[in-house]
Amino acid sequence: MASAGVTSAAGAAMHLVDYTDPAAIKQVPTRNGFGEGLVEAGRRDERIIAICADLSESTRMEAFKKTFPQRYIEIGVAEQMLVAMAAGLAAAGKIPFIASYAMFNPGRSWEQVRTTMALNESDVKIAGAHAGVSVGPDGATHQAIEDIAIMRVIPKMTVVVPCDSAQTKQATLAVAGRFGPTYLRFARAESAVVTTDQTPFEIGTAQTFRDGDDVAVVACGILVYNALVAAELARKDGIECRVVNNHTIKPMDEAAILAAARDCGTIVSVEEHQVHGGMGSRVAEIVAAHDPVPMEFIGVHDRFGQSGSPPELTEEYGMGVTAILAAIKRAHGRKRAARG
C-alpha cells in the first residue's frame, strides 16, 4: 500500500495513506492484522504459542493454528482456565498469546488476569477481539465497552489499542518482543486502514497524524480515522486540529499528551469505549496533574450497547464524524472563552 500526499507534514512523516481521499482507503478488520502478526511472530520466536477459547476463526488465530499446529491449544469455552494455563506455560518459558472476545477475556476472566497473570508478572499476551459497539448485531452481551477501564487499573499491565489492521499487525509483533502482561484490543468489523508497513510504531509512543494548534484530538482504535476526517472538516471553519493516535493506553505517552495540551489549549478524546475510566479518563488525569485544559469526551456515555450495524451504532452512540466535529467546535469555543 503506497503512502499518498496527506495534507499534514506530520502525517507525511508517518507514511500514512491519503485519508482525505476516500478512494485511497481500504476497509479491513483490525483482527486480520492480529492474525497476520501472530503468524509472523511465531516464525520469529518458537517460544510463542497460541491458546484459544473456541474462537480461532473469529479471533484470526486460525492461521497460526494451521501454520504451527504443535504450538496451538484449543481449550474450549473456559476463559478462566485459558488465563491460568497461559500463566503456567509462561512460567515454563513460553510466550502465550490467548484469544477470545474481549467481553469474555478479559471480561469473564478478570480475577485470573489480575491475580494469576499480572500479580506474577507473567509474560502472557491477551488478544481481546470484537471490542466496542462495532461488533454490531451481537448486541450488548458481546460488546466490550468497559475493558480498557478494567485493564488499565491493573499494575504491570500494558494496554495497546491500535488504529487499523496494519498497525494491529505491528502491535502484535511489538508485544511479542516485549516482556510482561499485555492486553491488545481490536475489533471485528471492517475499518479504514490509514497506516502502512512503513508507518513507525513503538509501544508507549503516541503518533501525531495531523498537525494543528487550535484543538488537539486524541484518539485510539478504529475511531482514529473518524477523528482525521472530522479534523479536515473543521479546517473549513478555520479550526486546525492536531490528531494524535494514542495507541498505547498504558504506559501512556505523557509527553505527547502534555505537548498537545500546551500547544492547543484544549483536547477532544475519542474512543470506542465508555468515557468513564477509558483512554480519555487517563488523558484527563495527566493534564489535570500538570496542565489543565478544557476537554470534550467522545465515546459511550454510561449506556450499554445494542444490536445494529456497526455504522448505525457508531452514530447512535455519538462517535461518528459529525459528533466529533461538534465536539471540536465546542472545545474550540471553550478554549476561547477561557482565554477571555
Q: Provide the residue count of the chain.
A: 340
Q: How many CB atoms lie within 10 A of CB 333?
A: 13
SS (H, E, C) 293-316: CCEEEEEECCCCCCCCCHHHHHHH
What are the cell numbers at 190? 471492517
Specify whether the CB–CB gap between 324 and 230 falls below 8 A: yes
Query: Is 74 among the residues known to form the active site?
Result: no
Give the three-class secondary structure for 126. Answer: strand
Of residues 112, 105, 115, the one with CA closest to residue 184: 105
Sequence-separated (6 or more) residues with CB below 8 Å from residue 227: 217, 219, 243, 268, 270, 324
CA distance 261 to 211: 13
What strands, in cross-sheet order, belong to the sheet with 215-219? 207-210, 241-245, 215-219, 267-274, 295-300
Catalytic residue chosen out of the listed positions 40, 46, 62, 79 = 79
Cα-based torsion angle of the residue sequence 322, 306, 276, 330 in order, rounded to the nearest 10 degrees: 20
Catalytic residue annotation: 79
